[in-house]
Amino acid sequence: MGFRLSHLSLAVSLVALALAGVAIYRNTYDSMIMNNGSPDFDLLETGAVSILTLNNEKRNSDKDNLSQQLTQESCVFSAVKGVVDSAIDNETRMGASLIRLHFHDCFVDGCDGGILLDDINGTFTGEQTSPPNNNSVRGFEVIAQAKQSVIDTCPNISVSCADILAIAARDSLAKLGGQTYTVALGRSDGTTANFTGALTQLPAPSDNLTVQIQKFSDKNFTVREMVALAGAHTVGFARCATVCVSTNVNPAAQLQCNCSATLTDSDLQQLDTTPAVFDKDYYDNLNNNQGIMFSDQVLTGNTTTADFVTTYSNNVSVFLEDFAAAMIKMGNLPTSAGAQLEIRDVCSRVNPTSVASM
């Protein structure tokens, strides 16, 4: 995002320099004609060489700046990837959690890192304790470690926590077998979060198809993109405390949870038959009426959405391509108009100078 502007600025600068060179050359030529009646070609050649030298020096300088920029980006990507890979090696489920964390951040008022802000007792209530997230979203410690890794290994580079969320989700997808994609840097972090927005904007497991389509349409997603993003449920788990609520679950699903037992947050239900692999099994399950969540299975109840489910079930490559494209689009969801933004030093709290604005 921010880097595209630098490329445009570079092009404009080179054009301006070239025009200036032509003007200098022409003025020198005219001066020679007026003073001597004929041009001094040695002098003109010297002037032309000087202009070419300046152009080359400018071009080399710009190349150096671009190379430095790419090196800085590479450092950031490497620092985050190392932390994410290690976290998933330690617990495969973390990959799905990091993809979900990025989704839950961007879907509420844009990609602003708002979900990372901790509550402050008596002062600030953020998104983490809103019902869709409370005791459910996870991976905060991985993002904090990735942020610290960037600080430690990439000095003098300022990268937002929202950017780190986007990189972590992309790297998690690739680690679990999905298709990688390009993450553009340049997001900023919000100085506040939206408890109510998390409750109203995020898709819920009990949402019918009409509600889901509206929520995705509000974020400018097509129905096809909605069905593709639902495919994130091809990895990871749901809490038994969630699926044991009748309105949240597909009545025909073969659950592993014992819903009559005392449940804890650690009791889990896998979301498809291969929860550690990013594949098309989620869509196969839907076609067999074995989607776990009510909101998943209703995708087969409409001709349009059912056709997309079948397309992805029949061709995993199409699904992976569509999912990657939808993730890029989601990662570029803009922040709310008028939002106060910064680059947070610590992802779980705003910078000291911003405290008064909370």
- Binding residues for heme b are 233
Query: What pLDDT score was predicted for residue 24?
Result: 41
Query: What pLDDT score was predicted for residue 330?
Result: 98
How far is Cα 333 from Cα 17, in angstroms, rounded to an integer?
A: 37
- Binding residues are 105, 108, 110, 112, 127, 203, 233-234, 272, 274, 279
pLDDT-wise least confident of 177-181, 326-330, 350-354: 350-354
Query: What pLDDT score was predicted for residue 37?
Result: 46
Q: Any bridge partners for residue 124, and if so which?
A: 120
Contact 108, 137 (CB under 8 A): no
> What's the pLDDT tens digit per position in 245-281?
999 999 999 999 988 777 777 799 999 999 999 999 9
With a cut of 70, say whether residue 29 has pLDDT above it: no
Global pTM reads 0.81
> What's the pLDDT tens digit per position in 90-122?
999 999 999 999 999 999 999 999 999 999 999
Q: Is 102 annotated as catalytic?
A: no
Contact 280, 316 (CB under 8 A): yes
- Binding residues for substrate are 203
Contact 97, 165 (CB under 8 A): no
More confident of the two residues 25 and 281: 281
How far is Cα 108 from Cα 116, in angstroms, rounded to an integer?
A: 12
Query: What pLDDT score was predicted for residue 265?
Result: 74
> For the chain, what is the mean pLDDT?
86
Which of 81, 100, 102, 104 does the annotation list as catalytic?
104
With a cut of 80, say whether residue 34 has pLDDT above it: no
Query: What pLDDT score was predicted for residue 36?
Result: 46
Q: Which alpha helices (H) appear in the chain, and where do they start and end?
A: 2-36, 41-90, 93-106, 140-153, 161-175, 195-201, 209-218, 223-230, 240-243, 281-287, 294-297, 303-314, 316-331
Cβ count within 10 A of residue 295:
22
